[in-house]
Chains A and B, each alone.
Chain A
Amino acid sequence: MTMHDPEHDIERLISSAGWRNAPGAERSARVRGVVAQVWRQEIARRRARRQALAAAATLLAAAAVLTAIFRPAATIDPPNVTLPQRVASIAAASGRVLLNGSTTPDGNRPGAALESGTRLETAVSASATLRFDAGAELRIHNDTALRLDGPRSIALDRGTIYLDAGESAAGGYTVTAAGGIVLRDIGTRFEVQLTEGALRLRVRDGEVLLESARQSGRAAAGEELEVNREGDIVRRKVPPFGPDWDWTTRAAPVFTVENATLEAFLDWAIREGGWMMDTPADAAFRQLARTTRLHGDISGLTPREALAVVLPTCGLTIAFSGGRAIVRKPSSEGVPQ
């Protein structure tokens, strides 16, 4: 097409074509958040690499100087600049937990420090929880083997893990698995299971990016992605509550009920159980929750069982409907049957 009066023609063409579709602000913000996270990780990774190279160069230069002064004829070994660093500690463990291939008391000792490069393995009837120094909690199911690759990095060899990045954490944890699959959390809680070359990702809240050699995808809260041996991804819905998640509570340190407030207990139960908690909205209930002190022990109980045991002792009822846990005072209206 030719244009004779350029500015007039351009104005006419563009005005008649109308506005181009713009992605909505919510959509744009959602993608920006994910992309910015990846960009920051990439920048941090490049900086760390540059620093490591600079450190290596400095060490090499220093070693060369020292060699020239003191041992002119000697050869030097290349410096090891990736020294192990403490990245996590044991928060809870039960059963046989192996560290670097051997059973040591540290494997079951809460507070025992774990360095980068540590290999951890749980026996068929064991479980453990690690607390990363960067803030996240990693729960490890039975018959699982993994390696701590860094302050926010886990390599899963087999089995099932559950990562809780914590409410205040900005995310940035990665889980790598066989086949070059990489999972990156965006401030979230998720479970990864690796069996016989197939990987299953279940996201309880937040979002997780999944990347493999063949494709990438994103899983949001309530979604499950399964990557089969051929690298195909199957997406399904999965409830963030229910018996499938109970192992994560069993692997965690037991919630100490003794002298805890009802409010703290309910917060724990919501987070562990995965429900939306529906409680009376009145000030009297809030006061009751803040001031009531609990007594006893809920070891071995699931969050659902614990709610059923504890709440009646506070004069409250509990009912479950879909994804909601409904707490009521017996006199209040709307108690589900």
Chain B
Amino acid sequence: MDDRTLAARALAGDERAFDELFDTYFPRLFRFALRRVETEDAAEEVVQATFVKAMRSLRNWRGEASLYTWLCAICRREVAAHWARQGKPPRFTPIDDLPEVRAALESVVDPGGRPDRLLERLEIAGAVQIVLDSLPGRYGDILEWKYAHGLTVAEIAARIGSSEKAVESMLTRARLAFREGFSSL
């Protein structure tokens, strides 16, 4: 289900769409928040507030940016509010908050941007994981299941309730998207 369909169905009250939206984006936003706050509990609070606001304003998402990009924008504000409540400046500057990296990651959804290569300044494993989180839909998940967890195409198909042929096709598109995103760093 693409982002627009997912959001439209969630807005119509479809429980399965809500579950898919949550399952797709909660882990990614949690990691996003965890790179920006000090503890897992703080990340949970920030991501919960993000989702609460997102549910209230989902109808205002017009699909110009990806759903993940939109959620990350809300999450950044919640992170800023978190640090404001602490009365401290943010303690971290995650690599995906660098403007060049943000532009590169957002260009995964809208290919075309070719910022300067920054990977030398980044820690590779962290960069790989950030790119995986930035891929559209569940591309990041199926790439990780395939290459890091060693799942077969049949196992991935069973996990997402799809056919093997569809998974093969998704893997092809996911690899292209990953290559696009990673090469642009």
Which residues of A line the B interface, CB within 8 A? Answer: 1-3, 6-7, 10-11, 13-23, 27-28, 30-32, 34-36, 38-39, 42-43, 46-47, 209, 211, 214-218, 232-233
Give the distance to chain A from B74, nearest Cβ to Cβ, in Å.
11
Cβ contacts B29-52/A at 8 Å (1 or 0 each): 011001000001001110111011
In the complex, B61 has a CB within 8 A of chain A: no
Taking each of A1, A21, A233, which has the highest tally of chain B beta carbons within 10 Å of its own beta carbon? A1
Q: Assuming A10-B147, A21-B31, A21-B34, is B44 touching A31 (CB within 8 A)?
A: yes
Chain B residue nearest to A45 (CB atoms) is B56
Give the distance to chain B from A10, nearest Cβ to Cβ, in Å.
5
Chain B contacts of A27 at CB under 8 A? 30, 40, 44
| CA of A35 to CA of B75, assembled, Å | 15
Q: Assuming A14-B144, A14-B147, A32-B26, is B179 touching A233 (CB within 8 A)?
A: no
Chain B contacts of A233 at CB under 8 A? 85
Complex contact A7–B175 (CB within 8 A): yes
| CA of A238 to CA of B26, assembled, Å | 30
Which residues of B line the A interface, CB within 8 A? Answer: 10-11, 13, 18, 22, 26-27, 30-31, 34, 40, 43-45, 47-49, 51-53, 55-56, 58-59, 81, 84-85, 117, 119, 124-126, 128-129, 132-133, 140, 143-144, 146-149, 175, 178-179, 182-183, 185
Chain A contacts of B119 at CB under 8 A? 1
Give the dominant DSSP class at B's interface.
helix
| CA of A249 to CA of B126, assembled, Å | 55
Chain A residue nearest to B34 (CB atoms) is A21
Complex contact A217–B31 (CB within 8 A): no
Q: Assuming A15-B147, A218-B45, is B175 touching A10 (CB within 8 A)?
A: yes
Complex contact A19–B52 (CB within 8 A): no
Complex contact A14–B128 (CB within 8 A): yes
| CA of A31 to CA of B75, assembled, Å | 15
Q: Assuming A23-B40, A31-B48, A32-B22, is B147 touching A216 (CB within 8 A)?
A: no
20 more A-B residue pairs beyond the given contacts A31-B26, A31-B48, with a C-beta to C-beta distance below 8 A: A1-B119, A3-B179, A10-B175, A11-B147, A14-B128, A14-B143, A15-B147, A17-B124, A17-B129, A18-B125, A21-B30, A21-B31, A23-B27, A23-B44, A32-B22, A32-B26, A35-B52, A35-B55, A43-B11, A211-B52
Chain B contacts of A2 at CB under 8 A? 183
Q: Assuming A10-B175, A10-B179, A36-B18, is B44 touching A19 (CB within 8 A)?
A: no
Chain A residue nearest to B33 (CB atoms) is A23
* Minimum-distance CB pairs A-B, first 6: A17-B128, A14-B147, A17-B125, A35-B51, A23-B30, A43-B13
| Chain A to chain B contacts (Cβ below 8 Å), 24 pairs | A1-B183, A3-B182, A3-B183, A10-B143, A11-B146, A13-B124, A14-B144, A14-B147, A16-B128, A18-B125, A19-B148, A20-B129, A27-B40, A28-B27, A31-B26, A35-B22, A35-B51, A36-B18, A36-B22, A38-B52, A39-B55, A209-B52, A215-B84, A232-B85
